[in-house]
Amino acid sequence: MITTIALAAVLAVGSAPAAVDPLTQEIAALDGKVFDAYNNCDLPAFSGYFDPKVAFFHDSGGATFERDAMVDGVRKYICGKVRRELIPASFRVYPVKDYGAIEEGEHRFCELATQRCEGIAKFVMVWAKRDGAWQITTVLIYGHRAATPEEQRAATGR
Which pLDDT score is estimated for 35? 96
Which pLDDT score is estimated for 19? 54
Closest CA to 85 of 112, 45, 55: 112
124-146 as b/e, with b when 16 or more CB fall inside 10 Å?
bbbbeeeeeebbbbbbbbeeeee
Question: Taking the mean position of all CA atoms in its chain, how far away is CA 32?
Answer: 8
Contacts of 101 (CB under 8 A, 6+ apart): 23, 27, 93, 94, 95, 126, 127, 129
Contacts of 153 (CB under 8 A, 6+ apart): none
Which pLDDT score is estimated for 20? 60
pTM of the model: 0.84
Which pLDDT score is estimated for 18? 46
* Element containing residue 149 per DSSP (H, E): helix 149-156
pLDDT tens for 48-98 read 999 999 999 999 999 999 999 999 999 999 999 999 999 999 999 999 999
Higher pLDDT among residues 144 and 153, named by residue: 144
One-letter amino acid at 98 equals D
